[in-house]
Amino acid sequence: MTAETGLAALWLAAALAALQVLLGVLALRRDMPQAVGAIRAVAIVQGALAAIAMAALINAFLDTDLSVALVVANSHSMKPWLYKFAGAWGNHEGSMLLWVTILGVAGAAVAKFEHRLAQPTLVATLAAQAAIALGFYAFLLFASNPFARLNPAPADGAGLNPLLQDLGLAFHPPTLYAGYVGLSVAFSFAVGALVTRDVGPAFARAMRPWVLAAWIFLTLGITAGSYWAYYELGWGGWWFWDPVENASLMPWLAATALLHSVTVLATRDGLRAWTVMLAVVAFSMSMIGTFLVRSGILTSVHAFAVDPRRGAFILVLLLLYIGGALALFGARVGTVRQGKLFEPFSREGSLVANNLLLTVILGIVLIGTFYPIIAGAFDIQLSVGPPFFDSTAGPIALLLVAVMAVGPLLRWRRDEAEALIQRSFPAIAAALFAGVGVFLLGGPIGVLPLAGVALAAGLAVASVAPLAKRNLARAPLHLWGMVIAHLGIAVSLAGMAISTAYTQETLLAVGVGDPARIAGYTVRLEGVRPLVSDNWSALEGRLAVTDDGGARFVLRPQVRYFTTPVTTTNESAIATMWNGQLYTVLGALGDDGRWQLRLWWKPFVTLIWLGGAMIAIGGALSLVGHQYRLWRTKQRAEAFA
Partner 1 sequence: MKRWLVWLPLCAFGIIVAVIAWGLWQPADRTVRSALVGRPLPDFVLPAIAPGKPGLTSADFRQGSPRLLNVFASWCVPCVAEAPQLLTLKAAGVPIDAIAIKDTPGDVSAFLRRNGDPYARVGADAHSRVQLALGSSGVPETFVVDGKGVIRAQHVGDIRAEDVPQLLQALADAK
Q: Which residues contact 352 (CB under 8 A, 6 or more apart)?
A: 271, 344
**Nearest CB to partner 1, comparing residues 144 and 606:** 144
**Least spacing, CB of residue 127 vs partner 1, in Å:** 22
Q: What CA–CA distance (Å, rounded) separates 220 from 119?
A: 33
**CB 370, min distance to partner 1, A:** 6
Q: What angle do CA 532, 166, 105 make, to 5 degrees?
A: 145
DSSP string across 222-276 = HHHHHHHHHHHS-S--S----HHHHHHHHHHHHHHHHHHHHHHHHHH---HHHHH
Q: How far is the CB of 107 from partner 1 (least distance, A)?
A: 24
Work out how close the CB of 277 gets to partner 1 at its nearest, in angstroms, rounded to a whole number. Answer: 7
Segment 117-121 long-range contacts (CB within 8 Å, at least 24 positions apart)? 117/189, 117/192, 117/202, 117/203, 117/206, 118/196, 118/198, 118/202, 118/203, 119/33, 119/36, 120/27, 120/28, 120/196, 120/198, 121/189, 121/192, 121/193, 121/195, 121/196, 121/198, 121/203
SS3 content of the chain, % helix, strand, coil (to 5): 65, 10, 25
CB of 31 to partner 1, least distance (A): 28
Q: Residues with Cβ < 8 Å from 578, sequence gap 6 or more?
A: none
Q: Is 77 or 299 the residue whose CB approaches partner 1 more closely?
A: 299
Residue 365 beta carbon to partner 1: minimum distance, rounded to whole angstroms:
13
CB atoms within 10 A of CB 3: 22
**Closest CB to partner 1 among 133 and 280?**
280
Query: Cα(452)–Cα(457) distance, rounded to whole angstroms?
Result: 9
| Minimum separation from the CB atom of position 374 to partner 1 (A) | 5
Q: Which residues contact 88 (CB under 8 A, 6 or more apart)?
A: 54, 57, 58, 60, 61, 94, 98
CA distance 416 to 435: 27
Give the whole-angstrom CA distance, residue 318 versus residue 100: 15
- Supply the minimum distance, in Å, between the C-beta of residue 547 and partner 1: 22
Q: How far is the CB of 278 from partner 1 (least distance, A)?
A: 10
Using an 8 Å Cβ cutoff, are 441 and 499 in contact? no
Q: For residue 26, how far is the Cα from the chain centroid?
A: 36
The residue (of 333 and 464) whose beta carbon lies closer to partner 1 is 333
CA distance readout (Å), 615 to 94, 217, 490, 492: 30, 11, 10, 9
Compute the distance between CA of residue 114 and CA of residue 109 in angstroms, rounded to an integer: 8
For residues 26 and 366, which CB has a smaller minimum distance to partner 1 in the complex? 366
Sign of CA dihedral 92, 95, 101, 105: negative
Cis before 466 (ω within 30):
no
CB of 274 to partner 1, least distance (A): 9
Report the interface residues with partner 1, using CB under 8 A: 273, 277, 280-281, 284, 288, 291, 295-297, 299, 308, 311-312, 315, 318-319, 322-323, 326-327, 329-330, 333-334, 366, 370, 373-374, 376-377, 380-383, 385, 387, 505-509, 587-588, 596, 598
Of the pair 369, 463, the CB lying nearest partner 1 is at 369
Is the CB of 295 or the CB of 606 nearer to partner 1? 295
Instruction: For partner 1, give the closer residue by CB, 151 or 381.
Output: 381
- Closer CB to partner 1, residue 391 or residue 633? 391
Q: How far is the CB of 383 from partner 1 (least distance, A)?
A: 5
Smallest gap from residue 363 Cβ to partner 1 (A): 9
Pairing between β-strand 521-532 and β-strand 536-547 as defined by DSSP bridges:
antiparallel
C-alpha 200/C-alpha 275 separation (Å) is 10
For partner 1, the closer of residues 380 and 554 by Cβ is 380
In the complex with partner 1, which residue's Cβ is closer, 173 or 236? 236
Amino acid at 113: F
Of residues 324 and 476, the one with the C-beta less far from partner 1: 324
